[in-house]
Amino acid sequence: MRILELLWNLKTLSVFMTLFLITSGCRSGNPDHSTLLFNVTGFLTTEAEPNSTIYLFVVPDTSFDTALNTVANHPYILKGPIINEINFTFAALSPGDYVAMVPRSSFPGNFQGFPIAWEFNRFNYSLKVNFHGGNGKYSVLSFSIRPSLEGARTEK
C-alpha cells in the first residue's frame, strides 16, 4: 500500500512539473516573443528623500494628459523603492505603454526631479521614452516597450 502511495505521488509530481514547464514558456532556441518580459531601470534627475517610492501604471496612450489623469485617478500596477535616493527598477514588464510616477512630496524643498528610463533594444523590442515632466503633485515618465521598427540587434 505504501508503494502505491509513493508511485501516485511521483506521478502527480511528474504531471505538475510537465505542466509547469509548458506553461512557463520553457523553450530552447529563440525566445518566444509572446512571453518576453523586460526589466526597466532608470534614475531621477534630482535625488529623492530617503525611503521614497516610485509607482508604475499602464496607460492606454502616451499623452501627457493621459499620464496625469492615470496617476491621479487609477491604481498602480507596481511600486518599488527609489534605490540610493536616485535609481529605480521595474522587473518583468511585458510590451506596452507605461507611466512611472514619483510624488512631488518625495523631493526635498523646492526641488523637483523627474524619472528617466534607460532606453534599450533587446530581442527586436525597444524601450523608448515618450516624455518626462509633471505638475505640482507628480513627477512622471512615459515610456513604451514595443517591437523595434528598425530591426534592432539582439542583446542577451
The pLDDT assigned to 32 comes to 53
Secondary structure, 3-state, the chain: CHHHHHHHHHHHHHHHHHHHHHHCCCCCCCCCHHHCCEEEEEEECCCCCCCCEEEEEECCCCCHHHHHHHHHHCCCCEEEECECCCEEEEEEECCEEEEEEEEHHHCCCCCCCCEEECCEEECCEEEEEEEEEECCCEEEEEEEEEECCCCCCCCC
Which tops the pLDDT comparison, 47 or 150? 47
pTM of the model: 0.75
For the chain, domains (ranges, CATH) are: 33-147 (2.60.60)
pLDDT higher than 60, residue 108: yes
pLDDT higher than 80, residue 51: yes
Per-residue pLDDT tens digits for 68-102: 999 999 999 999 999 999 999 999 999 999 999 99
What type of residue sits at position 143? F
Q: Write b or e for each residue in 57-85: b if 16 or more Cβ atoms lie within 10 A of its Cβ, otherwise e.
A: bebeebeeebbbebbeeeebeeeeebeeb
Order of strands across the sheet that contains 125-134: 78-81, 53-58, 96-103, 138-147, 125-134, 120-122
CA dist 83 and 10 (Å) reads: 44
Mean pLDDT of the region 5-30: 37
The pLDDT assigned to 34 comes to 62
The pLDDT assigned to 102 comes to 98
Mean pLDDT of the region 27-50: 79
Which tops the pLDDT comparison, 61 or 33? 61
